[in-house]
Amino acid sequence: MIKRTLFFGNPAYLSSRNEQLVVSFPEEDNKDATTPIEDLGFVVLENPQITMTNGLLMKLVQNNTAVITCDKQHLPCSMLQPLVGHSEQTERMRHQLNASLPLKKQLWQQTVMAKIENQAQHLLAQGKNALKLKRWAKEVKSGDTDNHEAYAAAFYFQNLFDIEGFSRNQKGMAPNNLLNYGYAILRAVTARALCSSGLLPSIGIFHRNKYNAFCLADDIMEPYRPFVDTLVYDIVETGCQLEELNQNLKAELLSIPAMDVVIDGKQSPLMNAMSRTTNSLYECFEGSSRKLLYPTFI
């Protein structure tokens, strides 16, 4: 089942009634709107004048709904996570924490190979040269000791957008703002799936910054980034204004969890594919598998 994403950009009062999320708009005369909580996967809160009851928060967390808040720049900045995301959480976390360094290096190798291959396929889909990426994807060593991931990312973004002077930089020119927003949504999707699989989003296989609470999410989302890039690329090609991240652009980017991807030869919504990826990661930690399951371009 595809879970819904709700975005709130105006002042609102959010509560629950009969297992429904109830939306009241204090500045408008509209009737209350309701949505079944069980249908929700993500709730994005952008306006600082949104009030939410504790009863609703409790029900959203129990439903494993990711509640995402935004900062003054309207970018996602935090996510509410459940304390218990899986019935076997303690055992699963123990397997994660006991994972050997060679295993982590092998998992990072698979992750980088999948990311570079997806970047190559995206460039090819846009009629661009991807021979270097194809070669680099095959040359990634355990732990990516030659840093192919960074070289590939630089080449990829230099050739993706036909925009003079563009480079990938969080504070750079548009469409960096769209990429930032899209990756933040993807990060939330990844963290939600990791919690559902009983894993700690903070303990990565490669990323290990002590100030980063989502190291594992940042690892596992890497091969999914090109799918966000495809959406941003299509937006850029429409010729619309990109400098301001308006409601229409946000609506496009909030469709990321429901995007169709191909994983294990079958089409699946991205958020469902992510759950399969995180479950395959646990199987690697637990020892029943040695292969991470990542999506591929058609």
**Which residues contribute to the annotated binding site?**
149, 207, 222
The set of residues, in sequence order, having a beta carbon less than 8 Å from that of 112 and lying 6+ positions away, is 140, 144, 148, 149, 222
DSSP secondary-structure letter at 37? G
**Backbone region of residue 252 per phi and psi (left: phi > 0; alpha: psi in -120 to 50; beta: other values):** alpha
Query: Which residue is listed with tokens 């009737």?
Result: 31
Between the alpha carbon of residue 1 and those of residues 38, 51, 269, 270, 298, the distances in Å are: 10, 29, 9, 12, 22
Cβ-based burial of 100 (10 A; exposed 0-12, middle 13-18, buried ≥19): exposed
Tell me the binding residues for Mn(2+). 149, 207, 222
Question: How many residues comprise the chain?
Answer: 298
> What is the CB neighbour count within 10 angstroms for residue 261?
22
Based on its alpha-carbon atoms, the radius of gyration of the chain, rounded to whole angstroms, reads 20
Q: What's 247-291 look like in SS3?
A: HHHHHHHCCHHHCEEEECCEEEEHHHHHHHHHHHHHHHHHCCCCC
Contact 275, 195 (CB under 8 A): no
| CA gap 178, 229 in Å, rounded | 9
Max Cα separation, the chain?
61
> What is the CB neighbour count within 10 angstroms for residue 127?
6
